[in-house]
Amino acid sequence: MKKTIKISPFNRVEGDLEIKVGLEDGKVTEAYASGVMFRGFERLLKGRDPMDALVFTCRICGICSASHSTACSNALRVAFKAKMPPNAYLARNIILATEVLLNHLTHFYLFFAVDLVNKKYLGSGAHRELARRFAPFEGSSYSKFIRARTNLLGVLGLFAGKWPNTLALQPGGTTRPVNLSEIIRAKGILVEFQNFLEHDLLGSEIERWLENKNLKDIDFWMGEDGHENSDLGLFIRSAPRFGLDKIGRGPGKFLSCGGYELADGTTWLKSGYFDGEFKSFNEGKITEDIKYSWLKGYEKGRHPFEGVTEPDVDKPGAYSWAKSPRYNGNVVEVGPLARMINDRDPLVLNLVSDIGPSVYTRVLARLHEEIRLLKQLNIWLEEIDPSQPFYIKPEKPKEAEGKGLIEAARGVLGHWIIIEKDKIKNYQVITPTTWNVSPRDSHGNPGAVEEALIGTSVEDEKNPVEIAHIIRSYDPCLFCTVHALKMNKPITTFELAVQGIIKREYS
Amino acid sequence: MVNLLWLQSGCCGGSTISFLNADQPDILTALEMLGARFVWHPDLSPVMGEEVLEIFDRFKSEKERLDVLMVEGAIYHGPNGTGKYFIFHDRPFKDWILDLAKVAHYTMAIGTCSSFGGIPAASNNPMEATGLQFLHEKKGGLLGPNYMSRSGLPVINIAGCPAHPDWIVETLIALISGKLDSSGLDKYQRPKVFYSKLAHHACPRNEYYEFKASAEEYSQQGCLFENLGCKATQCESDCNERLWLGRTGSCTRGGFPCISCTSPKFPDGFVPFFETEKIGDIPTTLPLDVPKAWYVGISGLAKLACPKRLLVNAVSFKRVDVE
């Protein structure tokens, strides 16, 4: 029997999303995810002073505002040919990493884990325990996280003054030099946060968790010292039982532009494109289509430097305000899973080869990145030399162009600016969620999340929690995105080669 | 139980995130103090889809009392007054807000966007954005100049980009306990207790300000007013007294200028953001109630009297000891 269900509003994501899926005998055959709000920042910026972009673009998104500040100040840095002192690279990474730490756990505790309390799992045996910990506003872990989150904000206060919407990140570095006293305070805050991670999320020391290199290691870790009773342990116990390792595969192609720029010109997390083979990342291969967006001005894909954002609210066939970014014409997934794969993280590569991309893999990759990042954040704090500067004043050119691509919590974030006669001639932004939740492109290829939904069995159409798991596993931030896709043929095979050895089939 | 309903209109979610940043009290303690619950909050509630519309219906038909309607984000009227830039369950979102505002006991605008239009209403306002009851300084907005919620109060504007969590939490508590009436609001309907101060108050750079010892570029310790665009002497807020992020920071403590984000004229009333416009040597952005002639006289004297310690440190990124 054919049926369409609509979830509007689809909430507990950032922004406004509407989901329509077509079901045939309980299986998703069509998926429509629509970004239902137009925001038009590109239009607001046209003709303004290039520095105004620092004020405006961090306000694209309240949850990842420092990521936009980082990308924007990078685009301006390229345009201004500005230089930054080594301390600035460290301070910027500390600000960005703190935001990502906050984002990943906000996603897990406030957005994702709430679905594990869904009534579908009442008979699972674990429901009482899940509800006791993860019920919104009341769960014990939920409450503890709200307080741990608040404590961690102090790092942002010390390095960025205010958040969301700091202006501390500038093309020439950061406006906030820190002294030894402040570094010590920040370290103390991180110790407290690490205590929360170790006591509640992991139930083990982070070093012990980081010894896990494959699924077998995780199995062993679970049986050790009561780790299975931590929040992560409970998730690892529940997810396969709830089938979360079998849903939400997505396109199986993963893009990362490289995370956390270092003073030596490299990035802490490696960039790359993985489609079964590891390939290098090339910014020139990014294009955006608008065939199914309520936008006009061009046909086929365009590089963001040639991008146009002109609304066309009654455009026939369109179903989303989001554009369709593609990499070398391919639909790709971005985010922590893509970052960990391209960084060749052994644990995540093993998960992907043994289980495949899935809701479970994606959530675990995000939490694993959280743990790696906290460790690295301490190293960056240690490397700051408070006797040295944090900023070099740049000169502003009258004509220039610049691009800033960074890894935000949810994946590749790009800003492109063209400056003409001292003013912004064009400003284009591609956010991570636009990559993940894009509509079809001009070739009819669906976006990553729609593809991930197709083929999913929905047990109770009045309570389509399976769809919720899949969409939320990408941690969408809809202050950007949305659309529709039809399945031409059933997806029966999925192939993924990791390190050239392993091939698996999924039915 | 006090029923709260939080809606997100044309926004970035920044004030929701800021609300989550509350620490004294944190949001869970605040809800406990209020005896309140979010019947729905788009980021936090488990409920989605049709069930949300059922909640709206219960409020609209007054089967359930809507104690506080909290709206984050600008109201989009575009294109051409249709509201189609934001369709919520097949209807322009502005129409949902109109319905719910009719039955709300109190209506709060959370953040500068829902208060005055904010960033979406910048430039030539391509989204045709307004706040709930204002567009910039002009009264009207979506609900009209004469709107009163059931309590007899107009929209209460918790301006700020984002709003400070205390401003949201304390206003809620004051309203529910009957301690905020119209005499507690300024002409832009912001609670005076927070907005009758200046962001300049308690700025740690105030000694530099007094002696006009100014930073020449970012990352230096001097005052940001004379050269680097700081609007803290015009910005009505208690940011530097109250502090942000677990009381660890503020804009000027972060080394960047205040851009007066609590003002109805934000953002375009405060450009350029990062440098100070001057006529001769005199900034055009003088503190609101300081006569220009006096300012010129006092600052000339202050510069002459400035201790060397401040002159040197104003242009240094780290503390320099001066004998």
Distance CA B91, CA A183 (A): 51
pLDDT digit of tens for each residue in chain A (507 aa)?
678 877 777 776 666 677 788 889 999 998 877 776 777 788 899 999 999 999 999 999 999 999 999 999 999 999 999 999 999 999 999 999 999 999 999 999 999 999 999 999 998 889 999 999 999 999 999 999 999 999 999 999 999 999 999 999 999 999 999 999 999 999 999 999 999 999 999 999 999 999 999 999 999 999 999 999 999 999 999 999 999 999 999 999 999 999 999 999 999 999 999 999 999 999 999 999 999 888 888 878 899 999 888 888 889 988 888 888 999 999 999 999 999 999 999 999 999 999 999 999 999 999 999 999 999 999 999 999 999 999 999 999 999 999 999 999 999 999 999 999 999 999 999 999 999 988 888 998 989 999 999 999 999 888 889 999 999 999 987 653 322 222 232 222 222 222 222 222 222
For B219, the closest of A44, A47, A174 (CB atoms) is A174
Query: Which residue, A32, A66, A63, A73, is CA-closest to A478?
Result: A63
Query: Would you tell me which residues 296-355 of chain A have a C-beta closer than 8 angstroms to some C-beta of chain B?
Result: 311, 313
pTM metric for this prediction = 0.95
Q: Quick one: how far is CA A44 from the chain centroid?
A: 25
Q: Is B10 on the interface with A (CB under 8 A)?
A: yes
Residue B121 contacts by C-beta under 8 Å, 6 or more apart in sequence? B74, B113, B127, B129, B130, B131, B135, B136
- Secondary structure of residue B77 in the 3-state scheme: coil
**A52 contacts B8? CB cut-off 8 A:** no
Distance CA B11, CA A61 (A): 8
Distance CA A63, CA A59 (A): 9
Q: Check: CB of residue A410 under 8 Å from CB of residue A477.
A: yes
Q: Which residues pair with A400 in a beta bridge?
A: A419
Query: Which residue, A293, A351, A297, A349, is CA-closest to A322?
Result: A293
Query: Would you tell me which residues 133-172 of chain B have a C-beta closer than 8 angstroms to some C-beta of chain A?
Result: 161-162
ipTM: 0.97
Handedness of CA A256, A257, A263, A266 (dihedral sign): positive
Query: Which residue, A100, A108, A106, is CA-closest to A234?
Result: A108
Distance CA B278, CA B267 (A): 19
Q: Is B83 on the interface with A (CB under 8 A)?
A: no
For residue A266, the one-letter residue type is T
Using omega within 30 degrees of 0 as the cis cutoff, is the peptide bond preceding A164 cis? yes
Distance CA A138, CA A292 (A): 42
Q: Is A391 on the interface with B (CB under 8 A)?
A: yes
Q: How many CA atoms lie within 13 A of A291 on its CB side?
A: 18
Distance CA A496, CA A276 (A): 5
CA distances from A255 to A61, A99, A252, B237 (A): 22, 21, 10, 43
**B13 contacts A9? CB cut-off 8 A:** no
Number of other CB atoms surrounding residue A392 within 10 Å: 17
Q: Check: CB of residue A359 under 8 Å from CB of residue A431.
A: no
Q: What are phi and psi of B5, to 5 degrees?
A: -130, 120
Query: Which residue, A222, A182, A216, is CA-closest to A202?
Result: A222
| Residue B168 token pair | 């949201």
Q: How many CA atoms lie within 13 A of A165 on its CB side?
A: 30
Q: Is B269 on the interface with A (CB under 8 A)?
A: no
DSSP conformational letter for B86? B
Distance CA A96, CA B220 (A): 22
Name the closest residue on chain B to residue A319, using Cα atoms.
B87
Q: Which residues pair with B110 in a beta bridge?
A: B72, B158
Q: What is the CA radius of gyration of chain B?
A: 22
